[in-house]
Amino acid sequence: MADIYAFGSVVSGEFDEGSDTDILAIESPFDENRYPSDWSVYSRDRIKELYSRGTLFAWHLHLEAVPIFSSASGGFLESIDPPAPYSEAKQEIQLLLTIAKTALAELASDTPSSIYELGILGVAIRDIGMAASHILNGNFCFSKFAPFLLRSAALPMNRDDYFFLIKCRRATTRGYHVNYDDERCRKIMETSPSIFEWGDKVLTQVGKGER
Amino acid sequence: MKKFLNKLDIERKALKPINSLFREPQLCGLTAKAIEQWHSQHPECGIEIYKRLLAVSNSVGSLSDRSGERFDEQYMLDSERSEEEVRQLLKLLASQ
What are the per-10-residue average pLDDT scores of chain A (211 residues)? 93 90 89 83 93 96 95 87 96 95 93 92 96 96 96 95 94 85 91 95 91 51
**Minimum CA–CA partner of B4 in chain A:** A99
d(CA B37, CA B41): 7
What pLDDT was estimated at residue B66?
Answer: 59
Question: Residue A178, SS3?
Answer: coil
Give the residue numbers in A contacting B (CB under 8 Å), as ranges: 30, 32, 37-38, 40-43, 46, 91-92, 95-96, 99, 102, 106, 111-116, 119-120, 168, 171-178, 180
Give the residue numbers in B contacting A (CB under 8 Å), as ranges: 1-2, 4-5, 8, 11-12, 15-16, 19-20, 23, 25-26, 28-29, 31-35, 37, 62, 64-65, 67-70
What pLDDT was estimated at residue B68?
Answer: 43
d(CA A154, CA A137): 11
pLDDT tens column, A132-141? 999 999 999 9
What pLDDT was estimated at residue A37?
Answer: 77
How many other C-beta atoms are found inside a 10 Å radius of the C-beta of residue A185? 19
Any residues with CB less than 8 A from the CB of A152 and at least 6 apart, and which? Answer: A136, A205, A210, A211
Choose the closest CB to B29 out of A99, A111, A173: A173
Contact check, Cβ <8 Å, A40/B26: no
pLDDT tens column, A10-47? 999 999 888 889 999 998 887 777 888 788 899 999 99
What pLDDT was estimated at residue A178?
Answer: 87
Chain A residues touching B12 at Cβ < 8 A = 106, 113, 116
Flag whether pLDDT at B71 surpasses 60: no
Choose the closest CB to B25 out of A38, A114, A174: A114
d(CA B86, CA B89): 5
pLDDT tens column, B16-64? 888 888 877 777 888 888 888 888 888 888 888 889 888 888 887 777 6
Q: What is the mean pLDDT of chain A?
A: 92
Q: How far is CA A193 from CA A104, A187, A198, A206, in A?
A: 11, 12, 9, 20
What pLDDT was estimated at residue B58?
Answer: 82
What pLDDT was estimated at residue A17?
Answer: 86
Give the distance from residue B27's alpha carbon to the nearest chain A alpha carbon, in angstroms: 8
CA-nearest of B54, B31, B58 to A176 is B31
Any residues with CB less than 8 A from the CB of A53 and at least 6 apart, and which? Answer: A83, A84, A88
Most A-contacting residue of B1, B19, B53 (CB-CB within 10 A), to test interface = B1
Choose the closest CB to A40 out of B5, B33, B67: B67
Give the distance from residue A62's alpha carbon to the nearest chain B alpha carbon, in angstroms: 16
d(CA B60, CA B76): 12
What pLDDT was estimated at residue A179?
Answer: 87
What pLDDT was estimated at residue B69?
Answer: 44
Chain B residues touching A113 at Cβ < 8 A = 12, 15-16, 19, 28
**Minimum CA–CA partner of A88 in chain B:** B1
What is the predicted ipTM?
A: 0.76
